[in-house]
Structure 1
Amino acid sequence: MDFFIFKKLVSVLVMPINVAILLLILSLVFFKRKPKFAFKSLISAVVLLIVTASPPISNQLVVPMEQNYESFSLSAKPVDYIVILGCGHQSNDALAVTSQLKPCSLQRLVEGLRISRLHPEATIITSGHSIKDPVSNAEKVKQAAIALGIDGRKIITENYPKDTQEEAELIGPRVKGKNVVLVTDAYHLPRAIKYFELQGVNAIPAPAGYFVKNPNADIHWLSYFPSSHNLYKASIAWYEAMGRAWQWIAY
């Protein structure tokens, strides 16, 4: 099995929702043979879902990951490259190209374009492959950037990286020694910066796509109810934590 697929499979299997589903299945399987074990599995699944879907928990998991860097303002010297890391899309010619991007890709693109307005001298690099889609994520983001007014001649695509490590390995040699701005989701940025540092690239961090816009804001009481969005935030935090653990072990 390809190691990339293995990593993705493991990360999916240990997501909170999938662990809860496994516990629920176990409770059904052992309902008659081991009722105590089945009851414990059922309670564990319910508790796991409630806890990870609750705003106080999900926010506390993701906020520390998002607060490592300030928003990009203006570089003291000219920017050579703006690197926009890939995320995902689904091609559908019936939709505007911007609507084909996943929210994470769209948010990264918007931040990259904002920085491009501040530093029009910079060349934009988009990256990301596609497993089954006929168009790579790098190419689709480029198409969206052109639709939003960017000159296509200012955009370079890296169509083959499958994950952050490969993005750093493929893009690093091109941008090493240059003034580089690295754009990705705020929670993901520390790990991405580390991978680029391993390639000798000291990139300027440019966080995008915050899950928690203002950690100090007062939360309305209705927002404390469990929700699928909060479960998603907790899953993202868990996925990133596993990615950082793997990076720490490997490097």
Structure 2
Amino acid sequence: MDLFLLKKIISAMIMPLSVILLLLLIAIIFYRLKPKLSFSALLIASALLFLSTFPPLSDTLMAPLEDNYPAFSKQEKSVDYIVILGGAHTTVDRLPATSQLKSSSLERLVEAVRIYRLHPEAQVITSGFAGGDISSNAEKVKQAAILLGIPKHKIITENFPQDTEEEAQLIAPRVINKTVVLVTSANHLPRAMAYFEKYGVKAIPAPASPWVKESSTKQWNYYLPSAKKLQQTTTVWYETLGRVVQWFKSW
């Protein structure tokens, strides 16, 4: 089996929802055979589900990942490259490319377009492999970028990187010793910056669309469990695992 695929399968199996479903399955299977085990599994699953969907806890876990870099602002010097790290998409020919992008890719692209308008002298690099789709994420983001006004001749695609480290490894030779803006999701940016620095690129961070947006007033429903917060907690867990793997690799 491909090492990349194995890594994705293992990470999917230890995400919060997968663990909750496994515990519920154990509770059902051992309902008559081992009632105490069944009850314990049900109790842990219920607690994990509540904690994973509880907004204050989810925000508390996410905030440290996102608070490392401020929003990008116009630089005094010119920018050579704007690098958009890969996300995800689904090709559907009847839809415009912007609608084929999943949220992470679209959010990163929108931030990159904003930066390009501040620095139209820059070239844009899109990145990301196909991941089972007929088009690479790099190509799909390029198509969407053109729809949003970035000239086709200003966009370079890197169609083959499968993960963040491969993106840094493949893009670095082109941008090293240049002024580079690195655009990715706010929670993913610390890990991405570390990989690019590993390969000699001192990039300017550009966090896109943070999950946690502080507000002085919170409505009562903020304290109710939310499916969206389960997704946020899953993102925290995934990114934390990624940083642990990165730390081990550094040894």
TM over 0.5: yes
Residue 65 of structure 1 is matched in structure 2 by 65
Answer yes or no: is 1:229 the counterpart of 2:238: no
Q: Deviations over 1:208-229 (max 9, x none)?
A: 0211122x53221112110110
**How far off is 1:2 after superposition?**
1.4
Equivalent residues in 2 for 1:85-164, closer than 5 Å: 85-164=85-164
Which ranges of 4 or more aligned residues in structure 1 deviate by more than 3 Å? none
Partner of 1:217: 216
Please, which moves more after superposition, 232-241 or 91-100? 91-100
- 1:183 equivalent in structure 2: 183
Confirm whether residue 173 of structure 1 aligns to residue 163 of structure 2.
no
Over residues 51-94 of structure 1, what are the superposed CA-to-partner deviations in whole Å (9 max), with x where a residue is unaligned? 11000111111111111000000222111100000101111111
Shift of 1:200: 0.3
Look up the SS of the partner of 2:210 in the other structure. Answer: coil
**TM-score under structure 1 normalisation?**
0.98
| CA deviation after TM superposition for structure 1 residue 150, in Å | 1.0
Partner of 1:4: 4
Structure 1 stretches lacking a partner, 5+ long: none
Give the counterpart letter for 1:124 in structure 2.
V
Determine the C-alpha separation between the residues in 1 that align with 2:91 and 2:79: 31
| Per-residue deviation, residues 116-150 of structure 1 (Å, max 9, x unmatched) | 11111100000001122111100000000111111
The alpha carbon displacement at 1:11 in A equals 1.1
Query: Structure 1 vs Structure 2: percent identity of aligned residues?
Result: 54
Q: Which residue of 2 aligns with 1:37?
A: 37
Distance 1:132 1:69 in 2: 33
Displacement of 1:178 after TM fit?
0.5
Question: Aligned equivalents of 1:149 and 1:119: distance in 2?
Answer: 13
Q: Which runs of 5+ in 2 are unaligned?
A: none
Q: Secondary structure at the match of 2:104?
A: helix
Alignment length (residue pairs): 250
Q: TM-score, normalised by structure 2?
A: 0.98
For the residue of structure 2 that corresponds to 1:201, the secondary structure is coil
The residue aligned with 2:13 is 13
Residue 124 of structure 2 aligns to a residue in which SS? strand
User: What amino acid is the match of 2:157?
Assistant: T
Query: For residue 243 of structure 2, what is the amino acid of its counterpart?
Result: R
Question: For residues 76 and 195 of structure 1, what CA distance do their matches in structure 2 show?
Answer: 26
Alpha-carbon distance in structure 1 between the residues aligned to 2:221 and 2:143: 40
Amino acid at match of 2:240: A
